[in-house]
């Protein structure tokens, strides 16, 4: 009958196992798959990430130079990060927060225009 007594005394004397969330937040672990993010300047718009995505969440348009992801379809599997040839996709560690409507989730990133190289000075 007194099997749980040791456990009860230990529980009464130690600090609680829960933390007071929103005032104390836990640091995410390194390598946690939270959300998909891209550095658009290094993307070459090959479209491999779009073909390999299991939930069809990525759309790539080579002509318009846009890359967009639907965060509400994405299952954060990490395949796009593995197959990108230029390694421009990486996983952010924070989980995605809730939103009021699904329209907000899609974002289109247009890259900056490529700078035209200035001609060198006169060459001999």
Partner 1 sequence: MSKTIIPFGPQHPVLPEPLHLKLVMEDEIIVEAIPAIGYVHRGLEKLTETKEFSQNIFIVERICGICSMMHAMAYCQGIETLMNVQIPDRAKFLRVIWGELHRIHSHLLWLGLLADSFGFESLFMQVWRDREKVMDIMEETAGSRVIISVNAIGGTRRDLSKDSLIKISVIIDEIKEDIKHVEKAFLNDYTVKHRLVGVGVLTKEQAYLFGAVGPMARASGINQDLRTTGYAAYGALDFEAVVETDGDSYARTAVRLKEVYQSIKLIKQAIALLPDGEISVPVKGNPTGEVISRVEQPRGEVLYYLKANGTKNLERLRVRTPTFANIPTLLQMLPGSQLADVPVLLLTIDPCISCTER
Position among 1, 12, 63, 114 found at the interface with partner 1 (CB under 8 A): 1
Position among 3, 27, 115, 117 found at the interface with partner 1 (CB under 8 A): 3
- Is 33 or 106 the residue whose CB approaches partner 1 more closely? 33
Q: Judged by CB under 8 A, which stretch of 42-50, 59-67, 75-83, 112-120 contacts partner 1? A: 75-83
Does residue 47 contact residue 60 with C-beta atoms inside 8 Å? yes
Residue 85, classified by CB atoms within 10 Å of its CB into exposed (0-12), middle (13-18) or buried (19+), is exposed
Question: Measured between alpha carbons, how far is 32 from 95 in angstroms, rounded to an integer?
Answer: 9
32 near partner 1, judged by CB under 8 A = yes
Handedness of CA 14, 17, 22, 25 (dihedral sign): positive
Q: Which residue has the tokens 């009464």?
A: 12
- What are the residues binding partner 1 (CB under 8 A)? 1, 3-4, 6-7, 17, 29-33, 52, 54-55, 75-79, 82, 91
């Amino acid at each position: 009958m007194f099997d749980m007594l040791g456990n009860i005394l230990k529980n009464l004397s130690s600090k609680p196992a829960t933390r007071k969330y929103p005032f104390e937040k836990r640091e995410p672990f390194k390598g946690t798959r939270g959300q998909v993010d891209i550095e658009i300047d290094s993307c070459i718009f090959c479209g491999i990430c779009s073909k390999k995505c299991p939930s069809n969440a990525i759309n790539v348009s080579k002509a318009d130079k846009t890359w967009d992801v639907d965060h509400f379809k994405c299952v954060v599997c990490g395949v796009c990060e593995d197959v990108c040839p230029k390694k421009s996709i990486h996983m952010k560690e924070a989980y995605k927060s809730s939103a009021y409507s699904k329209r907000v989730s899609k974002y289109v990133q247009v890259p900056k225009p490529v700078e035209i190289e200035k001609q060198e000075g006169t060459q001999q």
